[in-house]
Amino acid sequence: MVEYNYREYDLTDATDLDLASAKNFNSFATFEYAPIRRDSSFTLKLGSDSDQINLFFNGIGQFEGDLEVSQNDYYQNIYETETGDYSLIDELVVNDKNFQTTSIGEDQVLYDLTQPEFIRQRAAITGVEDWRDAATLGVSGDEIQAFFNGQKIYSGIDYVSEEGYLSGQGFVTGITGYLFTFPEHENLENQTGVGLYDITGKFLVDNIYYLNGVRQDPNAFLVYATGVGLIEGTGIEIESKGTIVYNKDVSYGSD
């Protein structure tokens, strides 16, 4: 399954060429020493205190949880993620369970900025019966992006909306773990399909890509003017960056 999300521009209208909106997508966290934690950590660059984020670790969606602060025997603060997949100290990512790297360039944290008024939801799935009763599960199925154990799942294939609530179907109903949602992207066109590796549209800058539910590095894709041949007769070989995708450990955390 391939998914593209992009803003389509009216190239004849100069007022429509607002490229600033693209800065909200496909930002990369830096990995650097953080004095407050006395260790290296991923650091984000947020636009304001009110920004919320959609965050992905090596393409796998992560849900922001609660931060727990304790002290060691030397009265130094210890920061841990109590629930969810990660937490934040201002722009610093805290995660004591799933993604801590010791090698710069080994792992990748990609994030999008969104607005705070959207509700984000998370629910534990412990058995098939949890999928069947949509109202009891209580996760909205409208105007959302759904992720199961960090992998994006799709309306009409993996779930349906029953009276406004998400109800699983297909292979996901035989899997346990965590279901969570991000808000649906506003003002973006969407295309999905099997083997949909090339699309044509009026788009210019950073777009959002998924392959089999895993978020992709936009640098692995080319955007170029129609009518321009980049491959034939040039000897160019295109190869995307290789990354390791870690299956999310679904046995941790509490809500």
Contact 234, 46 (CB under 8 A): no
Reported as a single tens digit per residue, the pLDDT across 168-184 is 999 999 999 999 999 98
Residue bearing the bigger pLDDT, 40 or 246: 40
Report the phi/psi class of residue 135: left, alpha or beta, with left for phi > 0 and alpha for psi in -120 to 50: alpha
Nearest to 187 by CA among 14, 8, 2, 3: 8
Reported as a single tens digit per residue, the pLDDT across 183-227 is 988 778 888 888 776 776 666 666 899 999 999 998 877 666 555
**Residue 96, Cβ neighbours under 10 Å: how many?**
15
Please give the average per-residue pLDDT across 80-92, as a whole number.
90
Reported as a single tens digit per residue, the pLDDT across 111-148 is 998 866 678 999 999 988 898 888 889 999 999 999 99
Q: Is 95 exposed, middle or buried (0-12, 13-18, 19+ CB in 10 A)?
A: buried
